[in-house]
Amino acid sequence: MPQDVAELVAAAQDGDRAAFDELVRVTYADTYTLALRLMGNEEDARDVVQDAYLRAFRGLRRFRGDARFSTWMYRITANCAATHHGKRTKHRHEPLDEADRLPDERPKVDPQAMSDASELRTRLTAALSELPLKLRQVVVLRDVYDLPHEAIAAELGISETAAKVRLHRARKKLREDLFPRRSEEAADAV
């Protein structure tokens, strides 16, 4: 069984199912991380990841290897997230009450690692989760995953100009959340 991602991709393209399963094993945590950042909740992230790997499985022959497999997966994941968001807004559910919220069943994060994490990073994660989904998707894909505007626009089904406008709005909102002006802080305190 090949171990290198490029070799796994080549084997999977030749119809080796075990190689594709191994590709999933190697990359799924990374794909899930992106999906969770894009969707902002675990349930939607799981759906997006499953859908992304199904699409990758069906379209693997079309992957020519011009980009890295991970970048290809990011684009598929972004596209699935946009589709999922479209479906969700079409069949909008009532939000759960605070008391009805499901418990977080993810393994507990290492407390040492948590204490080591910078304050800015923690606040950034919180600020990102507060951003509207449309803005969050663009800023995460551009500033965290370094996808070009063209790719972001293509996968989210928007124009490049719209992608740039959303990016600017998202950055502005994040900056204002992370670095509130003193006068605003004073006003909030009153």
Q: Which residue has the tokens 């507060």?
A: 130
Which amino acid does the sequence have at 98?
E
One character per residue 95-124, x = contact with other proteins (rule: CB under 8 A):
----------xxx-x--------x-xx--x
Choose, by CB under 8 A, the member of 130, 146, 150, 184 that binds other proteins.
146
174 binds other proteins (CB under 8 A): yes
In whole angstroms, the minimum distance from the beta carbon of 98 to other proteins comes to: 22
Residue-wise DSSP of 34-96? HHHHHHSSHHHHHHHHHHHHHHHHHHGGG--SSS-HHHHHHHHHHHHHHHHHHHHHHTPPPPP
The Cα 121–Cα 11 span in angstroms is: 39
- Closer to other proteins by CB, 92 or 182: give it: 182
In whole angstroms, the minimum distance from the beta carbon of 84 to other proteins comes to: 15
Choose, by CB under 8 A, the member of 50, 129, 159, 161 that binds other proteins.
50
Alpha-carbon distance values, 190 to 184, 186, 187 (Å): 10, 7, 5
**DSSP-assigned letter for residue 164:** H
Choose, by CB under 8 A, the member of 62, 66, 179, 183 that binds other proteins.
179
Q: Which stretch binds other proteins (CB under 8 A): 1-9, 15-23, 77-85, 86-94?
A: 15-23
48 binds other proteins (CB under 8 A): no
The Cα 48–Cα 63 span in angstroms is: 20
Q: Torsions phi, psi of 103, nearest 5?
A: -70, 150
Residues in contact with other proteins, counted by CB under 8 A, come to a total of 42
Segment 65 to 94, residues that bind other proteins, using CB under 8 A = none
Q: Which residue has the tokens 């999906």?
A: 35
Which amino acid does the sequence have at 158?
I
Residue ranges in contact with other proteins by CB under 8 A:
17, 20-21, 24-25, 28-30, 32-33, 36-37, 42, 46, 49-50, 53-54, 57-58, 105-107, 109, 118, 120-121, 124-125, 139, 143-146, 167-168, 171-172, 174-175, 178-179
